[in-house]
Chains A and B, each alone.
Chain A
Amino acid sequence: MTVGLAAFEEVIHPIPGLVAGGDMNTDAYQYHFVKISADEAIALAGNNEMPIGVLCNKPLSGGGATVAGPASTIKLKAGGSISAGNQLCPKSDGSGEAVASTTGDPSIAVALVGGADHDLITAYIVGGLTLHA
């Protein structure tokens, strides 16, 4: 995979100390949005759930989870058609796949490239958490 002028290289700024809240050792978890599900544990992020980041490894239950946080440039599994520049949030089916956000969605990332359903795209984690009065 290439990005612009250079070969694509993930830049992961990990969130330390997190573990898998269940077996997450398949492609159905790696490069998906995850949330905090319990004390220091993560699970796939679902509908209207704020992701904490993107899972980058394949941990077994209780194993160390490498979760990319803000400022990371990472691979992310698309859950539908995505265009470059789309703001991304978890798909409503609980798969942790990324879809284009609409108003009010918990979005933390921007697509750097477009893709189709189930493609691995490149995304940048900008952050999130906007509280309105």
Chain B
Amino acid sequence: MTIGNAAFEEVIRPIPGLVADGNLDTAQHHFVKISGDYKVAIAASDEMPIGVLCNKPLSGCAATIAGVGSTVKLVLGDTVVAGDKLCPDSSSGGTAVPATTGDSTIAVAVIGGAVGDTIPAIIVGGLTVI
């Protein structure tokens, strides 16, 4: 994957000390939420993501979560164009879809893509109380 003239390289600003709430070994590059004390799980529609999962942890293992200021890979759940604000999809899979008014969005797409693509996205923060 390339961005501009340079090869894409993730910049991960991790949130320390979080563990997987269940097996998340198939959820790499998906939105996650806080699901319990210091635990993360896949974020569903209308749930505020805390960041993006960057590794493949089994239940109880350390989860590498990219937080605000990170540029990460993110799996798409719908067609996205560059510049779209992104939120979790409605199928509870943690994939990224374009946000609409009132959605809980924390990231912006750097490039466009289709369902199933992995694109670079910037986690800019946010918190829309819904």
Contacts and interface: CB of A to CB of B under 8 A. Distances in A.
B8 interface: no
Contacts of A105: 129
B129 A4 contact: no
A123 to B, nearest CB: 10
Interface stretch (A5-13, A37-45, A90-98): A5-13
A101 B127 CA distance: 10
B13 interface: yes
A1 to B, nearest CB: 10
Contacts of B13: 71
Nearest to B63: A4
Nearest to B105: A130
Contacts of A2: 17
Interface string B1-40: 0000000000001011111000000000000011111110
A62 interface: no
